[in-house]
Structure 1
Amino acid sequence: MLLRKFKREALKLAKGLELIDFSFGLPYTYVLVKGEKGRALGVAMTLPEEIQRYENLIEEPSLEEFIKMADSLNIVERTLALAAINAVSQYHINLSNADWIDATELLSDDIEKIAVIGNMPPIVKALRGRNFELYIFERNPKLWDKETLSDSLEYWLLPEMDAVIASATCIVNGTVDMIAERAKNAKIVLLTGPTGQALPELFKGIGITHIASMKVVDIERAIEKLKLGCFRGFSKESRKYTIAVS
């Protein structure tokens, strides 16, 4: 299970880092850490449709305690854990081999069938303009439209795809392992979005080929906008990158 691997590796990488700030909120949960090299901000999209009644059992929040919740069955705990893991990852990440491009630029014209997991209008619009055969899956009924398929069909259809672009929220909801396994025939299996800030090397061995996420460069301004609940409020304070999982 990927989240258990994240937990194991992030606990090692967190040594020497200090938890500075955190917030479970909408639309993103965030964790801020600090070490000798400076500060790093990690985020994870909050999935309100999956939140259940929750009673916090952590008396003294710490980076380690958050990370240990990565494989919790509770969505609140998993979201905080992934934001913490992303913060640790962003502190250590080396982007010297990254491409500063959008995820859709990876797709060559010889690809025919593409699955988009999570109805992401900007990505869908860009792909439609290139005449790919698209299959758009979404779990949240509020985000469905006439061309959206239920995520229950992913298990059936993903083996037929040439490429898969999945919202990195599949890490939070625990479906990333299934997606990677069912998409093993695809040339490209890419996770996209701010939630995918984890170190690329943590994804090795499960079938993910690329990560497209963002590095927050103006932390103070980004946190201010996150606290104000802006859905895309910290995009101007960040740089998008796409990197291969080597």
Structure 2
Amino acid sequence: MSTTVATRLVAHLQPVTAGAQIADVRIGLGYSAVRLSTGEVGLSWTPKEEARCCQQFGEAGTLVGRPAGDLLGWLERPDALRRMLGLATANALGVRLAPAPATGADVIGLLGLEPADHLVMVGHFGPLLPPIRKTGCRLQIVEAEPDGEELGPEEGRQALGRCSVAIITATSLVTGGLEGYLEALGPVRAAVLLGPSVPLFPEVFRGSRLTHLAGSRVVDGARVLQIVSEGGGTPTLKVHLEAVIVPVG
């Protein structure tokens, strides 16, 4: 792909920014959320370092009332906090588009893992680890700051070139590593971008080796905003989200 995912996301959503302003912004411990003036709510993962120092955000107090297109453009900024708010805004704006066709919500069933498979997971996504390990496949986990047997980013990119299946968490959209991981992917039989922050727009990812987007649609925006404000994460949010899998091809 000749342009970045962030650039394509901004271009894809720019037509639906007309008339939309930022009505509410919540920066939580696990996730952050944006509500538009027309009611749509979008989520994004909160980087851990930002959760500890978000009170120092210099533009706090100026976000409500701004055009949604302004924050959408932050997807292309270099700092993770602005990218986070840009992604939450993108996911809120995406509600204005016709939803892409989905194929259920069972990621493990979709992948059909077997003992012969080599799965590389970029970002530790704990809920999937027990069912993955039950399949007997070879599993390698990639983290920015690896612990124990985890791989670092450079080793992870090398492993992505050799694996048969890949799961890349949407945190990489916020931290800025997604482009490198997508470029490193070899001829995998399946590659999934995973997590509640995933922007469910398959058009944006065509031309990459991603095969599916496994994300969530907000069902109850008011409850999502409350849980984010109270420091909640995936376990408390998930009952107010609809998990979906969208094919990229």
* Length-normalised TM-score, structure 2: 0.87
Kindly report the root-mean-square deviation, in angstroms, between the aligned alpha carbons of the 2 structures. 2.2
CA distance in 2, matches of 1:179, 1:119: 15
Cα drift, residue 217 of structure 1: 0.7
Cα drift, residue 10 of structure 1: 1.8
CA distance in 1, matches of 2:140, 2:213: 20
**1:209 equivalent in alignment to 2:214:** no
Q: How does 1:138-153 map to 2 (within 5 A)?
A: 138-140=143-145, 144=147, 146-153=148-155
* Ranges in structure 2 where 5+ consecutive residues have no aligned partner: none
CA distance in 2, matches of 1:83, 1:189: 23
- Out of 99, 102, 121, the position equivalent to 1:98 is 102
The one-letter code matched in structure 1 to 2:110 is L
Task: Name the counterpart of 1:44.
Answer: 44
CA distance in 2, matches of 1:198, 1:214: 8
Task: Name the counterpart of 1:218.
Answer: 220
Q: How does 1:1-246 map to 2 (within 5 A)?
A: 1-35=4-38, 39-49=39-49, 54-56=57-59, 59=62, 61-95=66-100, 97-109=101-113, 112-140=117-145, 144=147, 146-232=148-234, 233-246=236-249
Instruction: Provide, for residues 185-209 of structure 1, a one-character-per-residue CA deviation record: whole Å limited to 9, x for no partner.
Output: 1111111101103422222222221
Cα drift, residue 89 of structure 1: 1.2
The one-letter code matched in structure 1 to 2:47 is L
Secondary structure at 2:119's aligned position in 1? Answer: strand
Cα drift, residue 59 of structure 1: 4.4
Cα drift, residue 6 of structure 1: 1.2
Task: Figure out how many residues of one structure are paired with residues of the other and give that number.
Answer: 239
* Ranges in structure 1 where 5+ consecutive residues have no aligned partner: none
1:22–1:58: structure 2 CA closer, same or farther, 3 Å change rule?
Answer: closer
Q: Quick check: 51-60 or 25-34, which moved more?
A: 51-60
Q: Quick check: 6-15 or 232-241, which moved more?
A: 6-15
The one-letter code matched in structure 1 to 2:106 is D
CA distance in 2, matches of 1:173, 1:240: 23
Cα drift, residue 214 of structure 1: 0.9
Cα drift, residue 100 of structure 1: 2.3
CA distance in 2, matches of 1:238, 1:211: 15
* Length-normalised TM-score, structure 1: 0.88
On the 8 A contact 2:187/2:209 being kept in 1, the answer is no
1:68–1:140: structure 2 CA closer, same or farther, 3 Å change rule?
Answer: same
Secondary structure at 1:234's aligned position in 2? Answer: helix
Cα drift, residue 106 of structure 1: 1.2
CA distance in 1, matches of 2:233, 2:50: 18
| Percent of matched pairs sharing the same residue | 22
CA distance in 1, matches of 2:233, 2:195: 12
Secondary structure at 1:135's aligned position in 2? Answer: strand
On the 8 A contact 1:42/1:197 being kept in 2, the answer is no
